Structure 1
Amino acid sequence: MLRQNLQQKLLQKLSPQQIQFIKLLQVPTVSLDARIKEELEENPALEDLSLANQNDPVEEYPDKDPDDTFDHEEKSEDYDEFNIDDYLQDDNLNDFSSKYDKNSDDEEDKKEIPFAVQSSFYENLQEQLDLIPLSDKDFQIGQQLIGSLDDDGYLRRSVTSLIDDLAFSQNVFAEEEEVEEMLKVIQNFEPPGIGARDLQECLLIQLRKKDQQNLVILKAIRIVEDYLDEFTRKHYDKLEKSLNVNSIELKEIIAEILKLNPKPGDSEAVTTKQLQIIPDFHISNKEGFLVLTLNSQNAPELKVSRSYQEMFQHYDKSAQKDKKLKEAVQFVKQKLDSAKWFIDAIKQRQQTLLKTMNAIMHYQYDYFLTGDDRNLRPMILKDIADRIGMDISTVSRVANSKYVQTEFGTFLLKSFFSEAIQTENGDEVSNKEVKSILEECIGNENKRHPLADEKLAEILKEKGYNIARRTVAKYREAMNIPVARLRKEL
């Protein structure tokens, strides 16, 4: 039975302006320029005056937390009540680059990184295929095989799927034996190991191209063929018994295997996307005092288009307001609103970034002065959120994607956050200090007898850090350090 009920609910919703600001806040500097260009293309009412030299006063905006919801008055849809003053503004620009980054090197930012002109991984294989005398059918099969390789150079698709692809896409009907024969041809291409279907086949292809008269090579082939699992698990005692070799001979055989390339595709592939880290902040030490500056790229010179303002002004003075004119003005109003919101979001983003980074800098002042990890204080997101009066999620958005350049390196802000660990003296230290000690202990260990997690826990206890073995294992895994057995060397 259907019934109608009237319910009253109290909900919190983010306004479009808040959503836009949240999205802009988590964008790093390296991506901000692309985001601004995208907005400029979509909104003709927004203009970029980055080439102009503007030194007008900066309009101050109050700090706002995007995660604190608040009510907004609904704007009237009655066009007769438009207020032209809301859309008219001076050409004042938010010149944060001159206010916060007087030492910015604009010429350096404009330098372009040259790209090396090289053939791609697939082009290289295609060139080798072109040099082999083949029938049209075999050539098409070869092309299909090359196109089916992944970035590592492996063929991870089944022969049956390749046969189906050839039949449906190229109208080529091939037998399984024909595809297997062409695959053997591809596997003879450079770099060695290309076209393998798994790691074992990849290593064997490379080993079989070496001197087969060499006893070390022959035993390396046997290890890969019959004892690959023992090799990966570093059960060296089993390998010595199975191959009837001593530790010195086994070390030579393993060294030969370690020379092989497990990902042959990577050696030829040209990375078209460059990984660049552009710091959002700069911290410099001026005679014992830290100076924080914001990267000038975070301060675009944006303003609302004067022509769109004049268009709106013309409507405000117009006595005749027919339906078509109202529709046109509705479009202009929408674009003007969007431009204002975007400029406000950019300004608020700059203030939030500076406020958050300034709190982090002062919280970790001794660390930024010296660069010594031992001076890094335990710090969680709540510590900074309480200092700046914003939500934890706001601090998280800033910390997860922003970098700061210091005199001793460039770091992700997230790396400065760490949990507290209590020493035997009752002092609280950062877990980064413990990780640093662990890394040092593992780096100095005897690789023939690497330190187990229990032994590492004992060493830390001797140094005053009462940490359980499972916590040591957690820190070791966080640093991507394998267990003791896998760190063992001959």
Structure 2
Amino acid sequence: MKEALHLTQEQKLQQRLSPQQVQFVRLLEMNSLEVEDEVRHEILDNPAIEVAEQDDSQKNGSEEGGDESEEKADDIAPDTTMARDADDPEDDADDTPDYRLNISNHSADDKVLEPIITSESTLIDYLTEQINEHDLSEKQQQIADYIIGSIDDNGYLTRSVSAISDDLIFQEGLDVTDGEINTVLQAIRELDPAGVAAFDLRDCLLLQLERLPGTPENLHAYTVVDKYFTEFSKKHYDKIMAAMKLDKEEFRHVLEAIQALNPKPGSLYGGGENQKAQHIIPDFNVDVDGDTITLTLLNNVPDLQIEESFQAMYDNLPAKPRNRNEEEANRFVKDKYESASVFIKMLKQRQQTLFSTMRAIVGWQKAFFLTEDESQLRPMVLKDIAAITGYDLSVISRATSGKYVMTPGGVYPLKFFFNEGMKHESGEDVSTREIQSALKDIIEHEDKKKPFSDEALCELLNKKGYEIARRTIAKYRERLGFPVARLRKEL
């Protein structure tokens, strides 16, 4: 068959985001700190952007206690009149004035306390300080440094003796025997905190028990951990009591001795400067006064505008440049001006989208915000909020991802308020949070000597009107952090 070239024509329909939409999506996904950094960088990089000064009326309004981005409960109720197409960032409709989206929420007389991050001594620093007090040779000091560096934040040694030996010869060029490593390792295992440099949980508990006084309870506890650790971890207490010939009262004291030990001795020490501190900065604040809910968008994003002289240059650009240098200058002014205009517009669009989305969430979950009771959470999915705001599902998803709200009862991620629902036998819709709350209440008040199995929990919830399967019970139980019935059993 002869090869030949053919020319064909086909028609395709593709959906592509404009550069403005891409920038809007990127800003929407950012949290408050990331947006503030982005604004600062944009101000530094683009000479066409400057921070707008507040006029006297806005300043006075702020000083008199008016929260510029507040919404009362009457305004927060779900309302489809706020609907607006968020997929088209070119839409100029903006019902919320700029000054209501750019606030500090503090008057001039308020004292603002900024959190201070202090440097703490790390576990590695503490161990190094102690081992340096020992009379070690240069070779032993190198071994000690490597072993300490192989201890994780919980205090466990992450490498075996043979692996440490191989690492030292290949990475440090230090030829050592297992015996030399064990000698230094034993010295480290005698340092504080007790249980450090253990290979596993059993080893960690034994190291701690070895330092306790030789009381009968401690001696029995050492035997349990040493010889019956598998049975102990599975809470087969009857087998252990029979093997050790202990009654319930004696074994209860043994359990108390073991439970007093620290399974993570390294957690007593901070991560220091080498560990990145994790802070949650709320994007919204909800205040409750009786039946009144006030929603505030928290941010330090200033109001931006086109720099005056740059605006004048753009307005006076010649229609036809006289030479190449003037053409490049005109192109620079035009590019920076258009980039600044789009950025300012997309930033306003982001603020409006976030506020409208959160207002819809507060309106939908009003009962929860008034009571802080998880059982009051209504079933809510992305589609519900999209129907109220008029935004696309992808916009709602991005607007709520990584965002947090501060309430009188604590700080919640926005994803916390989204949950699927099911029909109660009464015909009402109930959320999965309500079911989990009922499950948690049953487990917390069960007889710890005879905890409920998943089948029993399923029957109890069915009696309460929640038609739910046993597999779903197991999933909710694990999500709540409760183990199986056997591991919840107590003496």
Q: State TM-score, norm by structure 1.
A: 0.83
* Correspondence for 1:136 among 135, 138, 146: 138
User: Any conservation in 1 of the 2:405–2:411 contact (CA below 8 Å)?
Assistant: yes
CA shift in 2, pair 1:35/1:248, >3 Å: farther
Percent identity of paired positions between Structure 1 and Structure 2: 39
Q: Which is bigger in relative contact order (C-alpha 8 A, separation at least 6)?
A: 2
The farther-off stretch of 159-168 and 448-457 is: 159-168
* Correspondence for 1:189 among 166, 191, 206: 191
User: Any conservation in 2 of the 1:207–1:221 contact (CA below 8 Å)?
Assistant: yes
Structure 1 vs Structure 2 CA RMSD: 3.2
2:472 aligned with 1:468? no
Q: CA deviation at 1:348?
A: 0.8
Q: Distance in 2 between matches of 1:246 and 1:383?
A: 59
The farther-off stretch of 409-418 and 30-39 is: 30-39
Once the two structures are superposed, the pairs formed by residues 48-67 of structure 1 within 5 Å of their partners are 48=51, 52-54=53-55, 63-66=84-87
Q: Distance in 2 between matches of 1:41 and 1:123?
A: 40
Q: CA deviation at 1:251?
A: 1.8
Q: Distance in 1 between matches of 2:184 and 2:4?
A: 68
CA shift in 2, pair 1:159/1:319, >3 Å: same
CA shift in 2, pair 1:246/1:16, >3 Å: farther
Once the two structures are superposed, the pairs formed by residues 35-184 of structure 1 within 5 Å of their partners are 35-48=38-51, 52-54=53-55, 63-66=84-87, 94-97=98-101, 103-104=105-106, 110-184=112-186
Q: Distance in 2 between matches of 1:176 and 1:345?
A: 63
2:303 aligned with 1:289? no
Once the two structures are superposed, the pairs formed by residues 294-305 of structure 1 within 5 Å of their partners are 294-297=297-300, 299-305=301-307
User: Any conservation in 2 of the 1:63–1:348 contact (CA below 8 Å)?
Assistant: no
CA shift in 2, pair 1:444/1:194, >3 Å: same
CA shift in 2, pair 1:317/1:18, >3 Å: closer
User: Any conservation in 1 of the 2:282–2:298 contact (CA below 8 Å)?
Assistant: yes
Once the two structures are superposed, the pairs formed by residues 339-418 of structure 1 within 5 Å of their partners are 339-418=340-419
Q: Which residue of 1 aligns with 2:458?
A: 457
Q: Distance in 2 between matches of 1:223 and 1:371?
A: 44
Q: CA deviation at 1:12?
A: 0.9
Q: CA deviation at 1:3?
A: 4.6
User: Any conservation in 1 of the 2:295–2:359 contact (CA below 8 Å)?
Assistant: yes
Number of positions where the alignment pairs a residue of Structure 1 with one of Structure 2: 459
Q: Distance in 2 between matches of 1:144 and 1:102?
A: 49
Structure 2: which 5+ residue stretches go unaligned?
Answer: 59-67, 69-81, 92-96
The AA in structure 1 aligned to 2:192 is E
CA shift in 2, pair 1:412/1:159, >3 Å: same
Once the two structures are superposed, the pairs formed by residues 226-245 of structure 1 within 5 Å of their partners are 226-245=227-246
2:222 aligned with 1:201? no
CA shift in 2, pair 1:259/1:415, >3 Å: same
2:35 aligned with 1:14? no
2:279 aligned with 1:276? yes
Q: CA deviation at 1:134?
A: 0.9
Q: Distance in 2 between matches of 1:305 and 1:166?
A: 61
The AA in structure 2 aligned to 1:96 is R
The farther-off stretch of 122-131 and 333-342 is: 333-342
User: Any conservation in 2 of the 1:13–1:69 contact (CA below 8 Å)?
Assistant: no
2:287 aligned with 1:266? no
User: Any conservation in 1 of the 2:85–2:390 contact (CA below 8 Å)?
Assistant: no
Q: Distance in 1 between matches of 2:239 and 2:44?
A: 66
Q: Distance in 2 between matches of 1:149 and 1:287?
A: 52
For the residue of structure 1 that corresponds to 2:401, the secondary structure is: helix
* Correspondence for 1:26 among 26, 29, 34: 29
User: Any conservation in 1 of the 2:157–2:197 contact (CA below 8 Å)?
Assistant: yes
The farther-off stretch of 358-367 and 335-344 is: 335-344
For the residue of structure 1 that corresponds to 2:258, the secondary structure is: helix
The AA in structure 1 aligned to 2:282 is P
CA shift in 2, pair 1:370/1:203, >3 Å: closer
The AA in structure 2 aligned to 1:65 is A
Q: Which residue of 1 aligns with 2:445?
A: 444
Q: CA deviation at 1:463?
A: 2.1
The AA in structure 2 aligned to 1:388 is T
For the residue of structure 1 that corresponds to 2:16, the secondary structure is: coil
CA shift in 2, pair 1:452/1:55, >3 Å: farther
CA shift in 2, pair 1:6/1:193, >3 Å: farther
The AA in structure 1 aligned to 2:86 is D
Q: Which residue of 2 aligns with 1:87?
A: none
For the residue of structure 1 that corresponds to 2:426, the secondary structure is: coil
CA shift in 2, pair 1:193/1:424, >3 Å: same
User: Any conservation in 2 of the 1:97–1:104 contact (CA below 8 Å)?
Assistant: no
Q: State TM-score, norm by structure 2.
A: 0.83
For the residue of structure 2 that corresponds to 1:377, the secondary structure is: coil
For the residue of structure 2 that corresponds to 1:34, the secondary structure is: helix
